[in-house]
Amino acid sequence: MTPLLDVRAITKTYGARIGCKDVGFTLWPGEVMGIVGESGSGKSTLLGCLAGHLAPDTGEVLFDTRIDGPRDTLTMSEAERRMLARTDWAFVHQNARDGLRMGVSAGGNVGERLMAVGARNYGNIRARAEDWLDRVEITADRMDDRPGAFSGGMQQRLQIARNLVTGPRLVFMDEPTGGLDVSVQARLLDLLRGLVRQMGLSAVIVTHDLAVVRLLADRLMVMKDGHVVEQGLTDQVLDDPQHGYTQLLVSSVLQV
């Protein structure tokens, strides 16, 4: 079996400062990888490099494309990379407003990716948008409302629907539950877990919330100051942390 994503020695520096250094991992089909660490540890820089938003200084990101097999996305043409980004990849932003078109109705937001890959039948686009809104628990009567009229949790669910409608194989998530209150978080996590399992998605989730990775991630990578300090199975890392920083991170979680 070929790994879906094979990341090799990614380094990104901002001048003299290190964004992330020498990061590598493999992601297998259907697997969810969690990346945790404090603010400034290079999580988002790494995710940006993987998703093609940032150009790393060195390294390779091999993605198993449907047609040509594993290819380095960093050396692809921009047209190919953008095509991947709207078909096989999805990117869920921390702030739903970054990932949504606020001036376009919920249905239009979900339909955009379909139209971007050539769907030209209004009835079909609308039916699929409705189906996806239903899957993320947004009722059909809110379909023609703009995202501005939605609550934070709904906006985040809308963003997820918009990303998953083209049936991607790899989802990048940057703090998908950030800024949501705990009950909304719980529902969102429940939804995400269901979708990931049901669609057999692979995902890379960046978060500082250990509860999120405990629920969603199969494997875990702990980052500090741009370096990976520990990685392994989620339960193993969280229940028996080896590195000093991981121990600190795990013991910092408030118990209610």
Contact positions toward other proteins, by CB under 8 A? 78-79, 82, 86, 101, 103-105, 107-108, 111-113, 115-118, 120-123, 125-126, 143-144
Nearer to other proteins, 165 or 237 (CB): 165
Nearer to other proteins, 7 or 106 (CB): 106
Nearer to other proteins, 105 or 236 (CB): 105
Output the smallest distance, CB 143 to other proteins, in A.
8
Output the smallest distance, CB 5 to other proteins, in A.
23
Output the smallest distance, CB 124 to other proteins, in A.
8
Nearer to other proteins, 79 or 254 (CB): 79
Output the smallest distance, CB 128 to other proteins, in A.
12
Output the smallest distance, CB 194 to other proteins, in A.
28
Nearer to other proteins, 15 or 123 (CB): 123
In whole angstroms, give the CA distance from residue 146 to residue 120.
Answer: 22
Output the CA torsion 202→204→208→209 (10° steps).
0
